[in-house]
Chains A and B, each alone.
Chain A
Amino acid sequence: GQNIDQPTEMTATEGAIVQINCTYQTSGFNGLFWYQQHAGEAPTFLSYNVLDGLEEKGRFSSFLSRSKGYSYLLLKELQMKDSASYLCAVMDSNYQLIWGAGTKLIIKP
């Protein structure tokens, strides 16, 4: 079966760095997405990785290792507004998105 695993909840301090991990087992691979979702809102796109390595975009970076079925989202200089759920999703061989349950990130002052 297809499976995406990520931690349920994480807590970090404002100004710090946090890494959210995601492991996956899917039927084929056409890329891995990270989305941010604030409560009651639709997810917003953060990153897309299809090749191994690190993609940096401002305070957010995303890493992918296809051989290990592993990705992480790195958030630097955390701000209170970063408190949200972070969803890892993998596009399988049929171009369907397989979603993780999301990681709720709590930022404390």
Chain B
Amino acid sequence: GAVVSQHPSWVICKSGTSVKIECRSLDFQATTMFWYRQFPKQSLMLMATSNEGSKATYEQGVEKDKFLINHASLTLSTLTVTSAHPEDSSFYICSARDTGDGDTGELFFGEGSRLTVL
């Protein structure tokens, strides 16, 4: 199946700093990528839909100025958590859908990035 790579897997940062998480589709093109957040013992929550070449679409309650999303190419989307605070500590996961000829509707997930803000 298709591969989505997410980096970094683990990141620890000080409160007030910014953290960038990358999501790459390795063997397919993805015009749309999704960013999710998962708090302990809770389900995945969609944060935003990242669209190549245009602005991301944010879900209600997600601050777009805090969670900056850039989808500059068909294989890369980045999520930047700006001025991170301890309450932003969470598991962030990206997913992508192969929007080319191989589109089966299946979503492919990155490995996830665990952010801890001290």
- Asked if B104 and A100 make an inter-chain contact with CB atoms under 8 angstroms apart, the answer reads no
Contact residues on B (Cβ < 8 Å of other chain), bracket? 20 to 34
Among A13-21, A39-47, A62-70, the one that faces the other chain is A39-47
Once the chains are docked, how many angstroms separate the CA of A41 from the CA of B45?
15
- Asked if B105 and A31 make an inter-chain contact with CB atoms under 8 angstroms apart, the answer reads yes
- Asked if A33 and B44 make an inter-chain contact with CB atoms under 8 angstroms apart, the answer reads no
Among A53-61, A72-80, A91-99, the one that faces the other chain is A91-99
- Asked if A101 and B43 make an inter-chain contact with CB atoms under 8 angstroms apart, the answer reads yes
- Asked if B111 and A97 make an inter-chain contact with CB atoms under 8 angstroms apart, the answer reads no
- Asked if B106 and A97 make an inter-chain contact with CB atoms under 8 angstroms apart, the answer reads no
Residue in B closest to A104 when the chains form the complex, CB atoms: B41
B interface with A by C-beta (< 8 Å): 1, 32, 34, 42-46, 49, 91, 93, 104-112, 114
Question: A42-B93, A48-B104 in contact; A101/B109 too (CB < 8 A)?
Answer: no
Question: A41-B112, A44-B109, A48-B106 in contact; A96/B93 too (CB < 8 A)?
Answer: no
- Asked if A100 and B109 make an inter-chain contact with CB atoms under 8 angstroms apart, the answer reads no
Once the chains are docked, how many angstroms separate the CA of A44 from the CA of B32?
19
- Asked if B105 and A99 make an inter-chain contact with CB atoms under 8 angstroms apart, the answer reads no
- Asked if B43 and A100 make an inter-chain contact with CB atoms under 8 angstroms apart, the answer reads yes
Residue in A closest to B97 when the chains form the complex, CB atoms: A95
Pick the 7 closest A-B CB pairs, nearest first. Answer: A42-B112, A42-B109, A101-B43, A99-B43, A42-B93, A102-B43, A99-B44
* Chain B residues positioned under 8 Å from A45 (CB to CB): 1, 106-109
* Chain B residues positioned under 8 Å from A91 (CB to CB): 105
* Chain B residues positioned under 8 Å from A48 (CB to CB): 104-106
A105 at the interface (CB under 8 A from B): no
Which of A31, A41, A43, A101 sits near B42, CB closer than 8 Å? A101
Residue in B closest to A4 when the chains form the complex, CB atoms: B43
Once the chains are docked, how many angstroms separate the CA of A99 from the CA of B44?
7
- Asked if A42 and B110 make an inter-chain contact with CB atoms under 8 angstroms apart, the answer reads yes
* Chain B residues positioned under 8 Å from A107 (CB to CB): none
* Chain B residues positioned under 8 Å from A95 (CB to CB): 32
